[in-house]
Chain A
Amino acid sequence: MNNMIARAKELLERKTVQVVIGYEEGPTGVARPAFVTNPSGADVLIYDNRCVQNLAVYLTKPEVKRLGRMAIVATLPVIRSIMMLISELQITSDDIVVLGISADGSLLDIADIDVMQGFIEKSDLTNPSKDKELLADLNKLTPEQRLAYWQKELSKCIKCYACRQSCPMCYCIRCTVEVNQPQWIPVQANIQGNMEWHILRAMHLAGRCVSCGECGRACPVGIPCHLLTMQLVDQVHNYFKVYAGTSDNMKSVLSTYEPNDKESFII
């Protein structure tokens, strides 16, 4: 912890970066993102088991980018998101300094691409264990039961798009749902519109989701929508033997053709 504050101060003092993106404690005791722009402000930084938000979402936000070069406190999902954002040409490794955090909470060396890649290679890239259990339960259901489950869950959706906004990989300046001539996805929060939205979102994240679970955590009405993208994490791995965010030069799984691709899903 003290290490992280010291590292943040040093980076800001030397003007290596203009902002450090980390976590601080809010007035109600929850951990939330912090944007530290001067060395004296770095003391607010915390890191403990409350610090779960995927901070990589801020790397593409215009007003954060405007502050200058960024350092970011990065756990495994954040590092994987960074790899994806570099692969998809949204950021370059020169834009950022990565303050990697290992699984035991200790600070990694300032992570360049090689350090991040080495860290990723040693890490478990499958879905978090509690989500694996939830998915296993869902996969035991018949397709009809599963449809009923999702219809019930998605009927709660209010279309606030917290799932999209909290996701580092949903960086489009104009989302498909905002294209309204013609309107592809109904604007209203009804069961048809909600189903279409969540299926579309999940498909756009196939091969890109890093299993951070942020979308499900962000949902104000408690829809476990992260299970949709996590199911695709498993399927993509099953078909293509790929996990997202493992290098800075990932090919897009669903838009890249390889002669040896499995075609077992084509009827």
Chain B
Amino acid sequence: MEATRKLIRKQSLEKLYNNLSADRKIYAPVISTDKQVEFRYNPAFADVTFEHVRSTLSVKNVVFPKVENLFYYTNEKTESTISVLDLNKIPEVVLWGAHPCDTASVDVLRSIFCWDIKDEFFAKRLEKLAVIGLGCHLSDEYCFCTSVGIAPDSRKGSDIFLFRLQNGDYQAEILTRKGNDIVASAPELFEPVSGEKVLLTEVKQKFDHSQVTEKLAGAFENPFWVENSLRCIGCGACAYVCPTCACFDIQDETKGKNGRRYRSWDSCGFGLFTLHTSGHNPRSVQSQRWRQRIMHKFSYMPERNDSLGCVGCGRCSSGCPVDMNIAEQLEALQNI
């Protein structure tokens, strides 16, 4: 559908927020007491921040929760009964105030979870999700969205996209049917656009991702990986804060007769990740795991999923305890 533009004033935004929270959950960013920016379900509008560069964790939790129950079971002597979850109980959620890197990441996750077999948990959460994106008027030295084909005003993944105006009001671009439905629920809050200037930050391009992808094709045995991963301590921080890392672990947890099977976030940075039952580990050292991380996002995904596995949010680098700066490494890879 063709996008329409409307003006929405700050106070109308609050009304819209409260309207929406009446019949669905809202996942919105707040600044917590210890100065971390985190997305929470249903915070009070007064606590919702419009002034953050990035949240510490990405928004992937909304479609790919850190723990997802898959089914419950009861074990009797010789038989097990499985009770399946009713996915229709997954609530409708509005993802509120997500920046373009985060809104774009939902589609990257879709390319993974709906690649061949459609993951029904992910697909249902996506179906129930409406996204109100927010253009970036702030950025920092870790941002590199423009190097991976995204920009501070990218609408990809948004149903409604908000631009911050100079006077503190917002311009709303209504992009999809879901967005239209939201507007139709409170049309009086949306006014004709004003001539007010849109505030947007600039993010400098650091590398050319298609050149990186090309270079990676012949870089598997390059000494680059060992040289540039010596300081990696092998934690999962980068993968867990990443909006597009989708690896998970599946576990059973049983108490007496009853139990459940769930999946939870996992990371290819861990030594256990590829450990075989035989004891052999095809990625036995950290450089091989670091290579996998980069290769997966910039070589295998473009080839298999027709999508880059990175949205340039910079979280992996700002959250890394030892400054494994991914943009710096990709820039170097472009020139090997």
Contact = CB atoms under 8 A, between A and B. Distances in A.
A204 interface: no
Given A32-B322, A53-B322, A165-B235, A188 B56 contact: no
Interface stretch (B92-100, B162-170, B263-271): B263-271
Interface string B209-249: 00000000000000000100111011111011100000001
Nearest to A187: B251
Contacts of B321: 53, 162, 166, 214, 217-218, 220
Contacts of B27: none
Contacts, number: 112
B307 interface: no
Contacts of B67: 188-190
B235 A161 contact: yes
Contacts of B271: 173, 178
Main secondary structure of the interface of B (DSSP, over half): loop
> Interface residue tally of chain B, by bracket?
35 or more
Contact of B237 (A160, A173, A178): A160
Given A32-B323, A166-B233, A158 B251 contact: no
A27 B230 contact: no
Interface in A219-244: 220-222
B86 interface: no
Contacts of B66: 158, 188-189
Main secondary structure of the interface of A (DSSP, over half): loop
A197 interface: no
A172 to B, nearest CB: 11
A159 interface: yes
Contacts of A173: 271
A114 B262 CA distance: 53
A61 interface: yes
A57 interface: yes
A62 B57 contact: no
Contacts of A35: 230-231
A183 B251 contact: yes
Contact of B328 (A26, A61, A63, A162): A26
21 contacts: A27-B328, A29-B141, A32-B231, A32-B322, A33-B322, A35-B231, A63-B229, A160-B236, A161-B235, A162-B233, A162-B235, A165-B233, A188-B253, A188-B262, A218-B237, A220-B240, A220-B319, A220-B321, A221-B56, A222-B34, A222-B36
Given A33-B231, A158-B265, A161-B270, 12 more contacts: A26-B323, A28-B141, A63-B286, A158-B236, A160-B236, A160-B240, A162-B236, A165-B234, A187-B251, A220-B56, A220-B319, A221-B57
Interface of A: 26-30, 32-35, 53, 57-58, 61-64, 158-162, 164-166, 173-174, 178, 183, 186-190, 214, 217-218, 220-222
